[in-house]
Structure formats: C-alpha cells, structure tokens
Amino acid sequence: NSSDLVTETDRAVEHRLRARIAERYPEHLCVGEEFNTAEDAVRIGPAPTWIIDPVDGTANFVHGFPFVAVSIGVVVEGRLAVAVVYNPIMDEMYTAMRGHGAYLNGAHRLPLQCRPLPATGLRDCMVGAEYGSIRDDTTLLPKIRSMQRLAAASAVHCRGIRCTGSAALNLCLVARGSLDVYWEIGIHCWDIAAGALIVEEAGG
C-alpha cells in the first residue's frame, strides 16, 4: 500500500546516503528522519554531522505531486556549512556553502533577478505555510487560526498563501524570491537544516 511504499522508499534512500557517507567520511555522523534515535538529538557536536531528509514531501511522492526533495545539510563545528536540496521531478538542485552564496542548478545565484518588487508589508507578501505532520489540537488549531487571519479581508491579510507540502522546497522558494515568507511550527531539524542555510546565503 501507499504507506508501505513511502516507508520503503524513504528508508532505502536514507540507507543509501548513510552508506555512501560512511564509506567516504567514516568519521562523520548522520542524523536522519528514517533512522532517527533518541541519541541523535544530542549527536550534533564537534564531529561533522550530516542532517538528512531522504524524501521531503512523502505524501506528494505517493500522489505524483511534483514538490518532492532530498534534503541534506552538513554541520561543521556546530554551524551549518553546506546544504543541498534536490527536486528530482523538476530537476532543480539548490545548493549553498557558508560564505559562498546559494545557487540553483549551480549556475543561477539566488535570489533570482526575476523576483517581484520588494514587499513593503505583509499585504504584498506571498506566504508559504503548511499544516505539518504534527496535528494535535495544541499545534494545529493555532496554525489554522493564523492562516485564517492571513487570508481574511482585514488589515493583516497577505497577498496569498501557498502550501507545497515540502518544508525544504518552501525555504528554497523563499531563497529564490518566489515566496516572501515561510511560516511553520512543529517540524524537525531535518526538515529545515539545508533550506535554512540556502535562505541565509541568498541574503535572507
């Protein structure tokens, strides 16, 4: 069934990534979504650490919705140093290295020059937001109320809200200038590690 497919694919991708990293960099550590343990939460220390989301947007993957990504961030000495987010369906690869900028497909520096005029307030902003995977009332209800306020015809409304189903790609859309804001709660380090550095290196 679709749930088994997601689990099988996620685990296979992460297993392959971990194996290649261990082969090339045996002294490095990995933290990932599919093989996460309680100890992983405190494993980010002096050793270089790879933070992996093997399939960000698993529901999208099952339904053929094209916002799916492999997301990898590398932490060195406690700081994100390298980031890669790759959407294999659209063949778009976002990369960043601390102090060296962020790029789309290695050739186009982010943000892209075709972005809209700078926003002067929330009313001008395109906002990315998600319902997320944590859907207990404590997390979900405040999020729904906030989305309602953003969409309502009031002084605080935004230009539009977009839900792609991928935290990593939402951050990349901010970096390229397609989204002005990405707002989310209830996510994990592997959801945002790579995207956060890409946004930072794009000037965000």
**What residues are designated binding site?**
33, 53, 56, 191
Q: How far apart are CA 51 and CA 73, in angstroms?
A: 5
Q: How far apart are CA 151 and CA 125, in angstroms?
A: 11
Q: How far apart are CA 57 and CA 72, in angstroms?
A: 14
**Which residues, 6+ apart, have CB-to-CB distance to 92 below 8 Å?**
86, 104, 105, 172
For the annotated binding site for Mg(2+), the residues are: 33, 53, 56, 191
Q: Cβ atoms within 10 A of the Cβ of 181, count? A: 17
Q: Residues 28, 49: contact at Cβ < 8 Å? A: yes
Q: How far apart are CA 204 and CA 178, in angstroms?
A: 13
Q: How far apart are CA 106 and CA 190, in angstroms?
A: 22
